Structure formats: structure tokens, C-alpha cells
Amino acid sequence: MRRAVLGGVGLALGVLAILVVPRCWNHYEWRHYKSALHDRAVELDRWRGWLETASCARRYDRVRTDADAPGCLGALAPLESDPGLPPAARAALHDWLAIGRAPDRQRVLDRVRKDLVPAARAAIRRTQADHATPRDYVWWRVDLGFALEDVLDRGYDAQRRGGDVAAAIAAPLAALRSEIDTANAAGAPVRELPAIPALARARPAEAWTALLAIDDNGEWDELERDNAVFGEMPSEPSGCDVE
């Protein structure tokens, strides 16, 4: 009798395990998946902030009042919690996010260009390095973005100094167009921004206007939300009945 009772208890426990363990495992898998989604969202928000930093700084170069300020600072806010941001870059970012209350806007922007922009570019380069062997389309898109940044930076610097914009951008523009051809020959799905050939054809007096017609940060368009930048996500668990 005792053996029968123990056998019945063992059978009941076995059935319970069959029913409960998958449910508990599903619960664990679901929590792991949700955590991975959250971590990826944080990564992509910071990635977008890095990609926008230099572009946003250039836009601020062209405004003089808060009323004309571009609406790009919101994308940079997630960088405040970036543990890899150097202290000087973090301080520059903090002042930039509060630029509407800053008594000296130019001093803030000078610190942004000196401390924050190089830190953001270094973070982008570290991510690009993860795609270097072999060079995939993410690597090429990032590299072309930096080539475009070089064109824009030199053009803005020349305009700020009252120099010759066309002469300043001639070499980096040729390098950008050459790299686009190289990327396509390597099989990377990249495109030339429509405004770049127009910039290459522009007369010296038209170079600044043609430069402003380029989609600033255009080579990185849509890359800020590309999951492939940080690798594959885990698959959503199937049959989960617990969230």
C-alpha cells in the first residue's frame, strides 16, 4: 500500500514537472528576451547620438539665436548615460544640452567640437571595427559617412574663416566619390547622395550653397536603427504564456 502511495505521489510530481518546468523555462526565456530588447534599444539610442553629434554641431554653427536652433539635441540626450564617454566630453555635452541658458554659446560649441565630437567619432570607429573582418556593408557605410564628414567639416571651416570653400573640399570630395566606387566594386550596397555630383560640378561661387544642399549625415541615413550594427538579436521565444 505504501509503495503504491509513493508511486502515485512520484507520478503526480512527474506530471507536475512536465507541466510546470516548460512554463518556468518559458518565463525565463521571455525575461531574457525582454532584457535583450531593452539593452539593444539603449545601444541603438547611443549609436544614434554618436552619429548625430558632429552633424548637430555643424547645424548649430549656422544659428545665432535659440529660436533658430535645430531640433537635433534630443538625439544626443542618451549619451549622458554612456559610461564610455570621457569626463571632458560629458561636461561639453551637459553644457550643450543646456545651451539655451548658456551665457556664451560660442564657448560651449568650441568645447563640443574639441571634446565631444572626437569622443563620438572614436565610439563610432570602435563599432566599425567589429565589422572589419570581413568588411560588410555596415563597415562601408560608416567609412563613407566619415568621408562625407571630412568634406562637410572642411567646407564649414573654410566658410567660417572666409576662405575658399571649393578649394577646401576638392580633395576630400574626390576621395569620397572614389570610395563610393570602391565600396560598390566590393559588393557593398551603397549609393551616392544625389547632391554630391551637383557639388562636384558647382562653380567656386556656388560651392557653399551646394554644400548646404547635401543631406548632412546622409551616408548614415537609417543606419542608426539597423540591428545588424550590434549583431543578431535572440529569437523571440515561442509558446511563451507568461510575460
Q: What is the pLDDT of residues 158-211, one digit of tens each?
A: 999 999 999 999 999 999 999 999 999 998 888 888 899 999 999 999 999 999
User: In this structure, is residue 32 part of a structural domain?
Assistant: no
Positive or negative torsion for Cα 101, 47, 85, 53: negative
Cβ atoms of 17 and 198 within 8 Å: the answer is: no
Range of the domain at 137: 131-225
Domain boundary (130, 145, 161) is at 130
User: Is 231 within a domain?
Assistant: no
Residues 136 and 120 reside in one and the same domain: no
For residues 151 and 163, membership in a common domain is answered with yes
Whether this model's pTM surpasses 0.85:
no
Check whether residue 120 and residue 150 sit in a common domain.
no
Look up residue 135 and give its three cell numbers. Answer: 568588411
Query: Is there a single domain that holds both residue 123 and residue 166?
Result: no
pLDDT of amino acid 230? 85
Distance CA 107, CA 204 (A): 31
* pLDDT score recorded for residue 22: 53
For residue range 52-82, what is the model confidence (pLDDT) as tens digits? 999 999 988 887 666 566 788 899 999 999 9
DSSP, residue by residue, 11-73: HHHHHHHHHHHHHHHHHHHHHHHHHHHHHHHHHHHHHHHHHHHHHHHHHHHT--SGGG--TTG
For residues 145 and 62, membership in a common domain is answered with no
Do 97 and 172 share a structural domain? no
Convert the pLDDT of each residue in 6-25 to its tens digit: 454 455 545 444 444 455 55
88 within 8 A of 112, measured Cβ to Cβ: no
CA angle 131, 135, 138 (to 5 degrees): 55
176 and 124 fall within a common domain? no
Structural domains counted in the chain: 2
With respect to residue 151, please indicate whether it lies within any of the assigned structural domains: yes
